[in-house]
Structures are given as C-alpha cells and as structure tokens.
Amino acid sequence: MKISSQFDGGSIEVVSCESPDNIQVKIPKDNQSEFYQWFYFRLSGVEEQACTIKFLDLEKSAYPAGWKDYRAVASYDREHWFRVPTEFDGDTLTITHTPGLNSVYYAYFAPYSTERVSDFIASLQHSPLVDTQVLGETLDGQDMDLLTIGEPGEGKKVCWVIGRQHPGETMASWWMEGFLERLLDDSDPISREALAKAVFYVVPNMNPDGSRRGHLRTNACGANLNREWQTPSMERSPEVFVVREKMQQTGVDFCLDVHGDEALPYNFIAGAEGNPSWSERQADLQKQFTDALKIASPDFQTEYGYPLDAPGEANMTVCTNYMADAFDCLAMTLEMPFKDTVDSPDEEEGWSPDRCRRLGEANLNAILSVIPNL
Ligand SMILES: [Zn+2]
C-alpha cells in the first residue's frame, strides 16, 4: 500500500502507512505560513480492505471548528466525489472507509487543479463574448488570467468577479464553472440582459501558486492574498497588485469575491458593514442582491453568517472592504460551506461541485437585479 500527493494540488505528510487499519498522516503547513487544513492524496493498494486513516495534530490547524460535523470527500475517478465516514475528537480526525477499488483519492473538498482552470479558460476562448488577457505572473511564474466578457461601453456597468484568493477553497472554482457557463449561454435571457447592461471582468483563479502547491490560504511566499488589498506589492502579492491595477483602469461598480468557509454549514454573504465609508446606498444594494439570490437559490440564506464588524472597525486590507471603500461600489464576499448546508443536506455528496455550479448560475439573477441601481 502507498500514499502519494506529488500532483497538482496534492498535500499530505505520511507518518505511518504499513497497515490499512492504522494509517497516520499530518497536514503540511502552507509554505512560509502557519496555516494548515487542506489535504488531497491518493491511497493505493487497499482494494476491499477496511482502512482507518488518522489525521494527527488538528487542534492547531487553521480552523479546528471546521472538523466538527465534517465528512471528508473521496473519489475513484476524480470526477465524482462522495463523502466518507469521518469523526473528530478535538485533535485527531479519523476516516473509516473500505475502498471498492485499488486506488482512491481523499480530499478536504472536491479538488480543482490549476490544469483544470487552464483547460476551462482555454475552452471559453471559443466564445465570441470572451476576451482573454494575461495580467502578469505569480511568484512561481504562472499566468494571472483575466476574462473580459461582453463589450465595455458608454453607460455600461462594470462588474468584477474573482475567486480562489484562498486556494484550498476549491468550491469557488466549481462556482466559477456554473457562473461563466451560464453567462456565456447566448440563449439565456438573464445572461443576455446582464451583458446588454454590463461588462464582466472575471479572475477565475486569484491564487494559482497556492492552488498548485496544495495550500489552504496563502500564495507561494506565505502571503494571505485577502489581507493584501490595501498595499499589495510585486514582491509579496503580485496576484493582487496586477488585478488591482486593472480595476483602477476599468473602474468598478460591483465586486464579488468567492470563497469557502471551513466552519459554517451555510451559504452566506459577508459585506463591508464595518467600513468607515459604509453607506445607506451600499446597504440597500446589498439587501437587494441577497433578497434576489435567496429567491434564485434556496441553498442561499441570510440568517447565519459572520458577526458584523463594529462600525468603522473593518479590516481594510480585505478585498471586499477595500473595494467598497475605494470605488464606493457594492462589494461582497460570498462564502460556501466545506461541510454541507444544514437546511438542505445531501447525504451522499454534501456541499458538492454540482451544487456550487448551480449557485454560480443563480448569482446571475441576483447580479442582474442590482445592475440598474449600481
Ligand atoms: Zn476564504
């Protein structure tokens, strides 16, 4: 039997792998960082053997609360991901699973490789609605891709949508597939209307290096990109630097930053309520957006989410807060669960790639509803 993780997005450290009933692993830290929570590895040579996989030392992981009521995902073909029995005792997470085939993959959430991002972007180029541009490169030398969808023009609103600042939050990439495929569907009336009134700038993957390296939260040098928006630099956070520069050229009326949350079993929006410049106009727009999204997707709700920052106390290095302040626009962070939605659970898959896609599609209804007022 063998465990391996030397592939795109792979991450695990083997402590013991001699006996199927006593496999022990640890989750490595992101490079030059203390964060650890993302795992993705292959276990082979264990067909029809009862496996017990213990993940050690999780009390100090990035989000210990994320392991409570969590079930890991597994896949034989890396297309269909299903949940497996998982328990957490406060420090050790234990997966018990008898693989039906010789080779099985386990992960924190359905992985989304940088190769798949590249394949997806390449496939979208065939649409006459899409213009692709490389804004710059990451510290590891990967491309920072921007998609421009629709034609900029007089009176058109400018909508920015970015995802995967935190690379382990792969649900953002599945969301992007649903969002972009619907936006480019020229028979979809919501998309046609949105593109008649707005141009979309989309960065499908803000953190290619962290994605390829199998990080939870940081880029190649350990920078948490969602704390770099006030003062990004080409040395530490070129990903944010080049995107922010382009935003300053285009102007911004709307900005949605797509994430996953380790602990909360809900889809929710986090806004810029703690900004000194937070306004009634921004609050009205945000309510209009979330009301429309609730109607478009019963998987989305507004009852549960992060506690609001006290007025004036927002962390201005966070994308949403920086954007709302710098552009006086509607800027929001969308969070999806790693676990499942407690109100509408799926026993087999939990929160899944397909459900992320559907939520991505539904976001277009909500965006169209606010465009006239942006
Ligand atoms: Zn995040």
Output the DSSP codes for 228-268: -SSS--TTT-HHHHHHHHHHHHH--SEEEEEEEESS--SBE
Distance CA 240, CA 207 (A): 9
- Ligand 1 centroid – CA 347 distance (Å): 25
Distance CA 193, CA 186 (A): 10
> Which CATH number among 2.40.50.140, 1.10.760.10, 1.10.10.10, 2.60.40.3120 corresponds to the domain 2-107?
2.60.40.3120
- Ligand 1 centroid – CA 20 distance (Å): 34
- Ligand 1 centroid – CA 236 distance (Å): 18
Distance CA 63, CA 50 (A): 28
- Ligand 1 centroid – CA 164 distance (Å): 7
- Ligand 1 centroid – CA 270 distance (Å): 11
- Ligand 1 centroid – CA 85 distance (Å): 25
- Ligand 1 centroid – CA 45 distance (Å): 35
CB 267 within 8 A of CB 337: yes
- Ligand 1 centroid – CA 319 distance (Å): 11
Q: Which residues surround ligand 1, an ion (CB under 5 A)?
A: 166, 169, 259
| Bridge partners (DSSP) listed for residue 332 | 256
DSSP letter, residue 357:
H
Burial zone of 48 (CB within 10 Å; 0-12 exposed, 13-18 middle, 19+ buried): exposed
- Ligand 1 centroid – CA 132 distance (Å): 25
Beta strand spans in 22-166 (E): 23-26, 40-44, 51-55, 73-75, 82-83, 86-88, 93-97, 103-107, 130-137, 143-149, 157-163
At residue 277, what is the residue type? S
* pLDDT at res. 281: 98
Output the DSSP codes for 67-80: GTT---EEESSSSS
- Ligand 1 centroid – CA 246 distance (Å): 22
CA angle 354, 304, 214 (to 5 degrees): 50
The CATH class of 114-373 is alpha beta
Q: How far is CA 27 from CA 34, 41, 113, 143, in A?
A: 11, 10, 18, 27
Whole-model pTM: value is 0.98
* pLDDT at res. 36: 98
Give pairs for 187-193: CB < 8 Å, separation 24+.
188/364, 190/364, 190/365, 190/368, 191/364, 193/368
Residue 279 has which token pair?
A: 């306004």
Residue 87 has which token pair?
A: 């328990």
Low-confidence ranges of the chain (pLDDT < 50): none
Active site residue ranges: 335
Distance CA 145, CA 280 (A): 34
CB 333 within 8 A of CB 340: no
- Ligand 1 centroid – CA 169 distance (Å): 6
Distance CA 135, CA 145 (A): 6
**103-107, strands of its sheet edge to edge:** 2-4, 40-44, 103-107, 73-75, 82-83
Distance CA 258, CA 204 (A): 10
- Domain ranges within the chain, ordered by starting residue: 2-107, 114-373
- Ligand 1 centroid – CA 48 distance (Å): 37
Computed on alpha carbons and rounded to an integer, the radius of gyration of the chain in Å comes to 20
| Bridge partners (DSSP) listed for residue 55 | 25, 93
